[in-house]
Amino acid sequence: MGSNEGITSLETALDVIRSLESRLEELNDISRKYEMEMESMVDNLTQELQETIASNSTLSQKVVDMEIRVDDLENDKNFLSNKNEILKLENDKLLESNILLNHEIHDLKQKFDHLQSTENQHLIPKRKCKPIKVSTNANTLSLQSMSQNSTVADLKLSKSTVISTTMPKG
């Protein structure tokens, strides 16, 4: 019986060895499969990293371009703000000038009405009043007779308030 037991043990040992070799082969196959998957994953991650780096570079350039654009827009805003202030000051001066000219027009109309009434009452009682046209141009006020064949010279008033007129012959 001793030799049968040895053969059985040897066969059992060989079966165990074959089983272990088969198991080792399966483990090697699984290991190669995992290694290939890992290499593929590393390649994919490397590609994603390169794409991310390229994207970051592009985004960084866009950020720089946008910062430059923001600076340009701020400069434009400051320029336009200053220009707006200058235009407001000019507008205020023009409004003030307009108000002064309107006061001068009013004063001249009153003076003209007074002169006309004084002239009509005291100097030439037979003379009739003629309608006049009052106009302004920039800083000048003009009074013109509405009569087409009038010999009355035009009355003009500038900012310096110099008045010039002539009396009709008659």
- The residue to which tokens 């483990």 are assigned: 27
Structure tokens at 129: 């009043």
Average pLDDT of the residues in 67-75: 97
62 in a structural domain:
yes
Is the pTM for the entire model greater than 0.85? no
Query: Is 137 contained in some domain?
Result: no
Count of the separate structural domains present in the chain: 1
Distance CA 63, CA 161 (A): 62
Q: What is the pLDDT of residues 7-39, one digit of tens each?
A: 788 889 999 999 999 999 999 999 999 999 999
| Token duo for residue 44 | 């994919």
- The answer to the question of residue 18 being in a domain is yes
Residue 122 domain-assigned? Answer: no
Task: Determine, yes or no, domain membership for 144.
Answer: no
Of 108, 113, 118, which is closest to residue 162 (Cα–Cα)?
108
Residue range of the domain that includes 30? 2-96
Mean residue pLDDT of the chain comes to 83
Q: Is residue 16 part of a domain?
A: yes
Tell me the β-bridge partners of 164.
156
Residue 43 within a domain: yes
Structure tokens at 88: 């407001």
